[in-house]
């Protein structure tokens, strides 16, 4: 049988075990045995490893066996997997100077060391404290009223009130009314709708959305925007008032009479609702009781600039239905001669002359009053039902062509 050279793995085992001569093949029984190597004095702390007997194994298996045998430590165990795990555990722990490998305590897989364990614990405590502080702040804000549930939910009303900054709300509301005043109605609607949706406390501002639609001439949109506000006691009076204005603009005067009456029922202290009810009654041909509502408007008026308008309308309606007293007539006739008393006597005297059929005298008094009155107020007088019904007269027609 031909001889074969030893494999590389076997040569590495030979070098590790101290054997310098190559091992003979298994079939060389007749070959003389190699002389034993002289024994070297054992060094303290080093375990002697017996030479391996010839055992033909595949190269890969031999290499694994050599790796297992080369692990220093206690005697090899029967289970190779246990030996490998023990070897890996030993490599996880550093040896101190002069310490035998057998004396090293294997590190457990979950062990991170005393110092690292303290640092991890401190970091975990800091994270828990931060999260807890944040949640506590949120709960405190909720308890203070950052988010409160409305106790009496209404149809169409937002149910959650968010924390409001009074200064910010005041600034946003002012900007919305500025947009309305500057006739930027689309922008005003967007701002008012956003404010009304933020809190039930700002819910009435949504009425301005309907008012913006009214000013734009979008009457159907205005009526649809008013629907959520009719059932709310806080907004029913204003909602019916705006609806009455829509009906007046559409010349539905009889409908407007009923709507303004509902507005007065919901908010009896509204002077402007009494005023508009009187206007609707006169334009609908029911001027008999209109003067009573003008008087109620004067009694409940809270806007100083409206007082002159209400008073002029009261006197004109009394002239129209014949309820102006003789004492008032005499007083006005004297006041006409005193320009320092203003335009009121002139307007009332113009109504008296119109009632008597003196159209030229009426036009003369209106011309004098127009020089002293503000243009807007003079337009209100001209378009009063009593004067405008005679606008076709040649003497009065020039006032309506301006």
Concatenating the DSSP letter of every residue in 108-120 gives PTT---HHHHHHH
Q: Which domain, by its residues, includes 351?
A: 310-402
What whole-number distance in Å separates Cα of residue 4 and Cα of residue 295? Answer: 133
What whole-number distance in Å separates Cα of residue 296 and Cα of residue 163? Answer: 41
Give residue 275's pLDDT band: very low, low, confident or very high (50, 70, 90).
very high
Do 175 and 164 touch, CB atoms closer than 8 A?
Answer: no
- What separation in angstroms does the CA of 180 have from each of 92, 114, 199, 216? 77, 71, 21, 11
Phi, psi of 28 (to 5 degrees): -90, 60
Whole-number average pLDDT of the chain:
74
Q: What is the pLDDT of residues 47-90, one digit of tens each?
A: 555 555 555 545 455 445 544 444 455 544 445 566 555 555 44
* Inside any domain, residue 214: no
Give CA angle at 216 (211, 221), nearest 5°: 65
* Inside any domain, residue 100: no
For the chain, percent of residues with pLDDT exceeding 70: 63
| 3-state secondary structure (DSSP) of residue 280 | helix
Q: What is the pLDDT of residues 278-332, one digit of tens each?
A: 999 999 888 788 889 999 998 988 777 788 888 889 889 988 888 887 777 777 7
* Inside any domain, residue 344: yes
* Inside any domain, residue 314: yes
pTM: 0.56
Number of domain units in the chain: 1
* Inside any domain, residue 353: yes
- Residue 153 predicted with pLDDT over 60: no
Which pLDDT score is estimated for 20? 47
For the chain, percent of residues with pLDDT exceeding 90: 19
What whole-number distance in Å separates Cα of residue 164 and Cα of residue 171? Answer: 12
Considering only residues 163 and 126, tell me which one the structure prediction assigns the higher pLDDT. Answer: 126
* Inside any domain, residue 237: no
Which tokens hold the place of 267?
């908010």
Q: What is the pLDDT of residues 208-241, one digit of tens each?
A: 999 999 998 899 999 999 998 998 888 899 999 9
What whole-number distance in Å separates Cα of residue 382 and Cα of residue 343? Answer: 13
| 3-state secondary structure (DSSP) of residue 148 | strand
* Inside any domain, residue 343: yes
* Inside any domain, residue 110: no
Q: What is the pLDDT of residues 378-390, one digit of tens each?
A: 898 999 999 998 8
Which pLDDT score is estimated for 342? 77
Do 319 and 284 touch, CB atoms closer than 8 A?
Answer: no
Which pLDDT score is estimated for 205? 85
Most confident of 13-17, 142-146, 251-255: 251-255
Give the number of C-alpha atoms closer than 13 A to the C-alpha of residue 15, restricted to the C-beta side. Answer: 6
- Residue 396 predicted with pLDDT over 80: yes
Residues in the chain: 402
Which pLDDT score is estimated for 303? 79
Give residue 273's pLDDT band: very low, low, confident or very high (50, 70, 90).
very high
Q: If you ran DSSP here, which 8-state letter would residue 19 be given?
A: -
Q: What is the pLDDT of residues 329-380, one digit of tens each?
A: 777 777 777 766 678 888 888 999 999 899 999 999 999 988 888 888 889 8
Cβ neighbour number for residue 234 with a 10 Å cutoff: 15
Strands 160-162 and 147-149: antiparallel
Concatenating the DSSP letter of every residue in 26-65 gives TT-TTSPPPPPPPPPPPPTT----PPPPP----HHHHHHH
Q: Which of 308, 313, 309, 306 is nearest to 292 (CA)?
A: 313
Residues 247-262: what's their mean pLDDT? 93
Considering only residues 115 and 184, tell me which one the structure prediction assigns the higher pLDDT. Answer: 184
């Amino acid at each position: 049988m031909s001889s074969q050279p030893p494999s590389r793995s076997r040569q590495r085992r030979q070098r590790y075990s101290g054997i310098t001569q190559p091992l003979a093949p298994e079939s060389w029984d007749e070959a003389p045995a190699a002389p034993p190597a002289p024994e070297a004095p054992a060094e303290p702390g080093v375990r002697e490893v017996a030479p391996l007997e010839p055992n033909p194994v595949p190269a890969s298996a031999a290499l694994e066996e050599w790796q297992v045998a080369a692990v220093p430590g206690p005697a090899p165990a029967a289970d190779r997997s246990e030996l490998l795990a023990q070897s890996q555990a030993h490599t996880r722990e550093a040896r101190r100077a002069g310490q035998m490998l057998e004396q090293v305590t294997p590190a457990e897989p979950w062990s991170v060391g005393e110092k690292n364990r303290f640092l991890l614990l401190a970091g975990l405590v800091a994270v828990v404290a931060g999260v807890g502080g944040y949640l506590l702040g949120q709960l405190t804000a909720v308890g203070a009223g950052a988010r409160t549930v409305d106790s009496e939910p209404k149809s169409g009303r937002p149910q959650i009130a968010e924390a409001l900054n009074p200064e910010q709300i005041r600034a946003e509301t002012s900007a919305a009314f500025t947009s309305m005043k500057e006739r930027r109605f689309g922008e005003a609607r967007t701002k008012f709708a956003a404010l009304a949706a933020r809190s039930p406390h700002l819910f009435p501002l949504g009425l301005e959305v309907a008012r913006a639609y009214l000013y734009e001439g979008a009457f159907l949109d205005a009526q649809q925007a008013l629907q959520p506000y009719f059932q709310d006691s806080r907004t029913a009076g204003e909602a019916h008032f705006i609806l009455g204005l829509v009906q007046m603009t559409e010349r539905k005067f009889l409908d407007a009479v009923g709507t303004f009456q509902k507005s007065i029922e919901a908010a009896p202290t509204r002077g402007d609702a009494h005023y508009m009810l009187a206007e609707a009654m006169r334009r609908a041909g029911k001027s008999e009781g209109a003067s009573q509502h003008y008087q109620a408007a004067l009694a409940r008026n809270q806007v100083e600039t409206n007082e002159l308008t209400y008073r002029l309308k009261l006197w004109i309606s009394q002239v129209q239905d014949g309820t102006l007293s003789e004492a008032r007539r005499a007083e006005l006739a004297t006041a006409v001669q005193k320009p320092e008393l203003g335009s009121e006597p002139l307007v009332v005297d113009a109504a008296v002359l119109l009632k008597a059929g003196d159209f030229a005298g009426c036009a003369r008094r209106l011309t004098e009053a127009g020089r002293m009155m503000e243009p807007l107020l003079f337009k209100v007088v001209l378009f009063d039902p009593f004067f405008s019904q005679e606008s076709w007269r040649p003497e009065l027609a020039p006032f309506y062509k301006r």
